[in-house]
Amino acid sequence: MPFYSMSGFLEAVAKVGKFSLRWDDDFFDRCSHRYTVIILVVFVVVTSTKQYVGDPISCWCPATFTDPMIEYTNHICWISNTYYVPMEKVPEKHYIPREEVISYYQWIPLVLLLQTLCFYTPSIIWSAHNSTFGVDINRMVLLVSGVEHINPDIRDKTIKFICRHFDRALAYQREYRKGRVRQCMQRLASYCCCPVGKLYGNYLITLNLFVKLLYILNAIGQFWLLNEFISNDVEKFTYYGYKVLLDIWYQRMPDNRMFPRITLCDFQIRQMQNVHDYTVQCTLPINLFNEKIYIFLWFWILFIALVTVIGFVYMLWTLFAMNRVTYLRKYLRVMNKIKKYNPTDERLVKQFVNEYLRQDGVFALRLMAKNTNDVITAEIIGALFDFYKKHYKPAKAMIARDADIPLSSSVGSMPNYAPPLNGPPACV
């Protein structure tokens, strides 16, 4: 192959192999689609290398076999199914029953790739749909990364840009039609995820709940997949890790019948009109790797299932309105935007959370906080709160009423949460 062709090939492989990290989710999701995927890819490389570079099987052949015959025996026993018979078991007849056939080891790299795809698919669904909310959380996180170390003017402009972008996304997804039915549906959507939609302010958080549910189903499905793939009539993968712990506790070292290292292989060789049957004993060094890999995966998948369930329950907990208000109040107090035990500020914060940001807005800010830092998040929330008080009629009306100041004509003419024709005003 010419040098320029080889360099072009390597460049193409490098481009395909680039893995860009996304910062639009939380730790619970990253455990599945990032950390688990990396682990599985490493296992794919290890098992594939052992299969296609090393010697995955070695059979003890009769002394009359030549080197080509030994090589053929190893190959035919690798591509055909071997079977396990305990060494202490003496067959009563010449025929040995083929009860525990081992048929999975050739397919382990492909099954690991399938597992990788299953863990990564919910992330693809999340990435493909979360940006339709109007705020690309991943880009916003990348934009504010390191902003605390740059020039103060650039820092303020960046925060104002994020504030303006955030407000535009919230404004364009707000329901402006009136009516008792609409009000009831809006009130119902503010307390739960039904009805679902961007206009009800719960599209993003419902999508994330759905993705987390997919991660939970995937973790459960992994046990089912591996149970069907590598289990036999004696041992089931579902209890594999528990059995390993018992063996360690009681200091037992029984033969691993799920990943046997010594198996038997039957094959035939035709010579002219005669067909000769052979049974040879083979070792499977690759099962040393497979055994350790799947012991680790049993505990890791169990850990992922527990972590994902915790993440799902935590998301349900954040749906409560009081938790959203408490979360935003903390940042506003840090930024000195509200006073403690001030009834006006308390009502203003509740209105800011429940009517302006709503569930999706608070959830997007939570994701930004988890992927940046609390200082930047507090400044963004403070800027949004100032923008809300300055430009939206309900907030201005509340402030003016509590201060006994009549509303100006400009305030009275401003529709509730309605952006101007040329878009929402900039954060100033």
Q: So what's the pLDDT on residue 37?
A: 95
At 398-410, the pLDDT tens digits run 666 665 544 444 3
pLDDT tens track for 76-104? 998 887 888 877 665 555 555 566 677 78
Confidence at 393, pLDDT banded by 50, 70, 90: low
Q: What is the pLDDT of residue 247?
A: 83
* Structure-token pair, residue 289: 């790797």
The pLDDT of residue 17 is above 70: no
> Is the model more confident about 103 or about 259?
259
pLDDT at residue 425, rounded to an integer: 43
Terminal C-alpha separation, the chain: 61
Going from N- to C-terminal start, the domains of the chain cover: 21-125+217-311, 135-172+320-412
- Answer for the pair 391, 420: CB distance below 8 angstroms, yes or no: no
- Give the pLDDT confidence score for residue 189 in this predicted structure: 52
Cα 387 from Cα 160, distance rounded (Å): 10
In this structure, which amino acid lies at residue 227? N
Q: Round to whole Å and give the CA distance between 144 and 142.
A: 6
Give residue 230's pLDDT. Answer: 84
Question: Distance between CA atoms of 394 and 416, rounded to whole angstroms?
Answer: 7
What pLDDT is stored for residue 251 in this prediction?
79
Instruction: Inform me whether the pLDDT recorded for 115 exceeds 90.
Output: yes
pLDDT in tens, 162-197: 888 888 888 877 655 454 545 555 555 555 555 555
Report the pLDDT value the prediction gives residue 29, as an integer from 0 to 100. 93
Given a contact cutoff of 8 angstroms between Cβ atoms, the answer to whether 155 and 406 are in contact is: no
Rounded CA separation 428/426 (Å): 6
Spatial CB neighbours of 298, under 8 Å, sequence gap ≥ 6: 237, 240, 241, 244
Determine the angle formed by the axes of helices 203-230 and 358-371, rounding to 10 degrees: 60
Q: What pLDDT digit, counting tens, does each position of 316-338 carry?
A: 888 887 888 899 999 999 888 88
Banded model confidence at residue 339, pLDDT cuts 50, 70, 90: confident
Tens of pLDDT, residue by residue over 410-428, are 333 334 444 433 444 444 4
417: left (phi over 0), alpha (psi -120 to 50) or beta: left
Write the CB contacts of 230 (distance below 8 Å, at least 6 apart in sequence).
Answer: 104, 237, 258, 259, 294
- The confidence score (pLDDT) of residue 401 equals 64
Mean pLDDT, residues 93-122 taken together: 81
287-317 residue pLDDT tens: 888 889 999 999 999 999 999 999 999 998 8
Most distant CA pair in the chain, distance: 110
- pLDDT: which is higher, 214 or 199: 214
Average pLDDT of the chain to the nearest whole number: 79
Look at residue 356 and tell me whether its pLDDT is greater than 80. yes
Distance, in Å, from the CA atom of 352 to the CA atom of 384, rounded to the nearest integer, reads: 9
Query: pLDDT tier at 126 (50, 70, 90 boundaries)?
Result: very high
